[in-house]
Copies of this chain bind each other. A is one copy, B any other.
Amino acid sequence: MLKSNDDNDKKRKIIYLDYASSASYLSANPGAIHELGVKEKKKLENARAKIAKILNARRDEIIFTSGATESNNLAILGVVNATKEKGFFRSSEKIPRPFKNLSPFPHIVTTNIEHASVLEVYKHLERTKQARVTYVEVESSGIVNPKKIKKALTKDTILVSVMYANNEIGTIQPIGEIAKEIRHWKKGKNRFLEHGYFSAEKFLVLAPSRSQVSKNLFFPFFHTDATQAINYLPINVQKLGVDLMSFNGAKIYGPKGVGALYVKKNTPISKIMFGGDQEKGLRPGTENVIGVANLAHSLEITERIKEKEVKRLSRLRDYFFIRLQEMSKTVFDTPLVISGDLKNRLPNNVNITIPGIPSDLLVIELSGRGIMASAKSACKAGDGKASHVIQAIHPKTSETDGSLRFSLGRETTKKDIDYTIKSLSKILLKLKKWYN
In the assembled complex, how far is the CB of residue A86 from the closest CB belonging to chain B, in whole angstroms? 14
Binding site for B on A (CB under 8 A): 1-2, 4, 12-25, 27-28, 32-37, 66-70, 72-73, 115-118, 120-121, 123-124, 167, 170, 228, 231, 250-254, 256-258, 272-276, 284-291, 348-349, 360, 363-364, 366-368, 370-375, 405-413, 415-416, 419-420
User: Copy number of this protein in the oligomer?
Assistant: 2
Known: A23-B253, A256-B290. A17 touches B412 (CB 8 A): yes
In the assembled complex, how far is the CB of residue A281 from the closest CB belonging to chain B, in whole angstroms? 10
B117 and A67 contacting across the interface, CB-CB below 8 Å: no
**C-alpha spacing A183/B287, complex, angstroms:** 38
**C-alpha spacing A272/B66, complex, angstroms:** 14
Q: Please name 7 further chain A to chain B contacts, defined as beta carbons within 8 Å, in addition to the given A20-B228, A120-B274, sorted by A numbering.
A: A12-B370, A20-B374, A20-B405, A23-B253, A34-B372, A70-B285, A117-B284
In the assembled complex, how far is the CB of residue A176 from the closest CB belonging to chain B, in whole angstroms? 23
Contact of A35 among B251, B254, B372, B420 (CB under 8 A): B372
B117 and A372 contacting across the interface, CB-CB below 8 Å: no
B117 and A373 contacting across the interface, CB-CB below 8 Å: no
A253 and B24 contacting across the interface, CB-CB below 8 Å: yes
A67 and B15 contacting across the interface, CB-CB below 8 Å: no
A291 and B256 contacting across the interface, CB-CB below 8 Å: yes
**C-alpha spacing A24/B254, complex, angstroms:** 8
In the assembled complex, how far is the CB of residue A289 from the closest CB belonging to chain B, in whole angstroms? 7
B12 and A257 contacting across the interface, CB-CB below 8 Å: no
A73 and B20 contacting across the interface, CB-CB below 8 Å: no
Residues of B within 8 Å of A372, CB to CB, are 14-18, 25, 28, 32, 34-37
Pull 17 A–B residue pairs with CB atoms less than 8 Å apart, ordered by A. Answer: A15-B370, A17-B372, A18-B372, A19-B348, A19-B409, A22-B251, A22-B256, A24-B250, A24-B253, A25-B372, A33-B367, A34-B364, A35-B367, A37-B372, A72-B275, A256-B289, A272-B273
A275 and B409 contacting across the interface, CB-CB below 8 Å: no
B373 and A34 contacting across the interface, CB-CB below 8 Å: yes
A349 and B20 contacting across the interface, CB-CB below 8 Å: yes
Residues of B within 8 Å of A17, CB to CB, are 371-373, 406-408, 412, 416, 420
Contact of A273 among B24, B70, B375, B416 (CB under 8 A): B70
Residues of B within 8 Å of A228, CB to CB, are 20
B256 and A124 contacting across the interface, CB-CB below 8 Å: no
**C-alpha spacing A235/B257, complex, angstroms:** 26
A1 and B413 contacting across the interface, CB-CB below 8 Å: yes
B72 and A1 contacting across the interface, CB-CB below 8 Å: no
Closest to A22 in B: B250
Residues of B within 8 Å of A407, CB to CB, are 17-21
Residues of B within 8 Å of A348, CB to CB, are 19-20
B33 and A364 contacting across the interface, CB-CB below 8 Å: yes
A367 and B285 contacting across the interface, CB-CB below 8 Å: no
**C-alpha spacing A290/B287, complex, angstroms:** 18
Q: Which 3 A-B pairs have the closest CB atoms?
A: A19-B409, A117-B275, A66-B66
Residues of B within 8 Å of A25, CB to CB, are 372, 411
A285 and B364 contacting across the interface, CB-CB below 8 Å: no
**C-alpha spacing A374/B32, complex, angstroms:** 7
Residues of B within 8 Å of A72, CB to CB, are 275
